[in-house]
A and B are shown apart, each in its own frame.
Chain A
Amino acid sequence: MPAIEILGLEKKYEVGFLRKTEKVALKPFELAVQEGEIFGYLGPNGAGKTTTLKLLMGLIFPTAGSARLLGRHWRDPDVKTEIGFLPEQPYFYDYLTATELLEYYGELSGMDPTAQRLRVPEVLERVGMTAAASTQLRKFSKGMLQRVGIAQAIIHDPKLVILDEPMSGLDPMGRLEVRDIIHSLKDEGKTVFFSTHILSDAETLCDRVAVLNEGELRAIGVVADLTAQVGGKVEVVWQGEKAKPAVEALGAECRTTASLVRAVLPEAKLDAALDAIRQARERLVSVTPVRATLEDYFLQKLGRKPLEEVETR
């Protein structure tokens, strides 16, 4: 049974005040996330990731289509006892302390009070917020809020965790910690569905990813399969300066360190580059294939680079 089944969800927005025009934020598509998977939902800004997650959580209503969550009808409110959700840039009742907030959400999720009392400190520990357990949220930094956000998403031990950009606002340590949490959730047999545009996170974490662009689903698959579709690159290193102009003419960027020149170029151009080096009678040091990344995939398939997140700390 898939944990999430998206059945042709579509969302159109009416924009403009007097002259209304339609803006399609999400075009209908099918997607199934299997139980126990860590599934990455990728796409550049404005691709429709948040829109999809809000639709799944019933925060906004689709113009067409439906979905199933954990094998149940997605509008069944009780299915949410088994789902944890972290919204994008989360914000919480800032008059509560972290502990009170988690207790509140625990109660709303129908948790047993005694189980909850044990669970709250445990979860706070897990997101590294034990020290701030009884601080009001209005005194929290952005990263701390993000951690509390993750805590509230897992407080009720849900089977499915949906996270909208969980690494956003976190320092490198925080990112590592969240990666660990996601991994451990998988180890516990949970399903994690998260959106991100930080591709390295997706590459290291995800069993599968889906790529979304301008509201359209562009690809689904294992990261390695996706990157394999992108032509590989090679790094060529040689000694001497004379071949450099010819190699640069092939579109490679060359860097000189001491007496060595280093150039990265598409595989297809490798022969021409080697010819140039040989003609210049210079010494070839190494030829190494460079593994294609999701970034390359984005660059080639979507024609744009996903904006790297700007750290606001």
Chain B
Amino acid sequence: MKSRGPVTLVFAVLTLLGLAGQALLVRKVDALRPEATLEEVLYIPSAKAVKRMGLGYTGLVADIYWTRAVQYFGRKHGKGSTRYELLYPLLDITTSLDPNLVPAYEFGSTFLAQRPPQGAGQPEKAVALLEKGISANPNEWKLYLHLGFVYYFEIKDYLAAARALQHAAEMPGGNPELRAIAGTLAQHGGDLQTSRQLWMMVYQNEKQAQLRKNAERHLAAIDNDEIVTVLEAAIADFRRRTGRDPKSWAEMNANGYGRTVPIDPQGDAYLLIEGRVEVAHPETFPFITKGLPPGQQPSIGPQIVVQ
């Protein structure tokens, strides 16, 4: 027993050193090739090939590809990720392996359609993906809902959007409220109210965290745009009355415009700079079109129709 001591100790230390060391190296290797699992799709000739290589375990393989997509694009969402060119092939493979993976169509169409940096800016591919999904899953009303979204927000084909939403409303399980939205869509294409209704629809019906988060951001952006519209109107009024820009919110309050410093939907106070309203953190506030610092392009979003 006694002489087994040192050997055991030495090898226990070696085991631990080896384990700790390899974990460190794994991190280094991962850092060296952060997008390796995604880039794999660059070498894949077709979804059919993957299907054959998956040896019949296509469901599992599909799940793996799907998780890669969610993991990578979900985490990098809005952080200036650059590899959106990989998104479509990845989703195409995923849905070819498992055509019934409905969340993949929903997720995919959303992030394919949105303009960079919130998405790939490929609405046609989003439509293609959704149509593939609809032909494989003709009874999923939510696919029509998403199709409507892409037409409405990105392609701005309000007629096509209304048609898709009408479909969604009539399908079993579909939300009948959509019919009303679809009806007004043609006339009110692009107005904030319709946008809000649509995003609320997603927010209430969606189970995927990423997509709910996305809808929440859109809703926040709509709120922001509405608030900023009101604030801008007040400032214009102030300017008309005094002939100059207000210096601060306090000055505005003192003149009877509101009672406190206005707060944006992210919880930050709006800035008042040379008579302009700006959000405090535009970089973390995607989709807004109003309250941006001068020169900064609206990332994406509903257009405001001032009535």
Contact = CB atoms under 8 A, between A and B. Distances in A.
Asked if A and B form a direct contact in the complex, defined as CB atoms under 8 angstroms apart, the reply is yes
Contacts of B2: 73, 75
B3 interface: yes
Contacts of A75: 1-4
A76 interface: yes
Contacts of B1: 61, 66, 75
Interface string B1-36: 111100000000000000000000000000000000
Nearest to B3: A75
A73 B3 CA distance: 9
Contacts of A66: 1
A209 B1 CA distance: 29
Contacts of A61: 1
Interface string B130-146: 00000000000000000
Interface in A43-75: 61, 66, 73, 75
A75 B8 CA distance: 14
A74 to B, nearest CB: 10
Contacts of B4: 75
Interface string A129-154: 00000000000000000000000000
A75 B4 CA distance: 8
Q: Is the interface of B mostly helix, strand, loop or mixed?
A: loop
A10 to B, nearest CB: 13
Nearest to A77: B3
Interface in B69-86: none
Nearest to A76: B3
Nearest to B4: A75
A66 B1 CA distance: 9
Interface string A71-99: 00101100000000000000000000000
Contacts of B3: 73, 75-76
Nearest to A61: B1
Nearest to B2: A75
A310 B2 CA distance: 41
Interface string A237-274: 00000000000000000000000000000000000000
B1 to A, nearest CB: 7
Interface in B237-272: none
Contacts of A73: 2-3
Contacts of A76: 3
A266 to B, nearest CB: 50
A53 B2 CA distance: 20
A41 B1 CA distance: 25
A73 B4 CA distance: 12
A61 B4 CA distance: 11
A76 B7 CA distance: 12
A61 B3 CA distance: 13
A73 B2 CA distance: 10
B199 to A, nearest CB: 59
A75 B3 CA distance: 7
A33 B37 CA distance: 68
A115 to B, nearest CB: 28
A185 B254 CA distance: 117
B3 to A, nearest CB: 4
A65 to B, nearest CB: 10
A306 to B, nearest CB: 34
B250 to A, nearest CB: 79
Nearest to A75: B3
A50 to B, nearest CB: 21
A66 B2 CA distance: 11
Interface in B166-217: none
A66 B4 CA distance: 14
B8 to A, nearest CB: 13
A73 B1 CA distance: 10
Interface string B90-106: 00000000000000000
9 contacts: A61-B1, A66-B1, A73-B2, A73-B3, A75-B1, A75-B2, A75-B3, A75-B4, A76-B3
What are the 6 closest A-B residue pairs judged by CB atoms, nearest first?
Answer: A75-B3, A76-B3, A75-B2, A73-B3, A75-B4, A75-B1
Given A73-B3, A75-B3, A75-B4, 6 more contacts: A61-B1, A66-B1, A73-B2, A75-B1, A75-B2, A76-B3
Interface of A: 61, 66, 73, 75-76
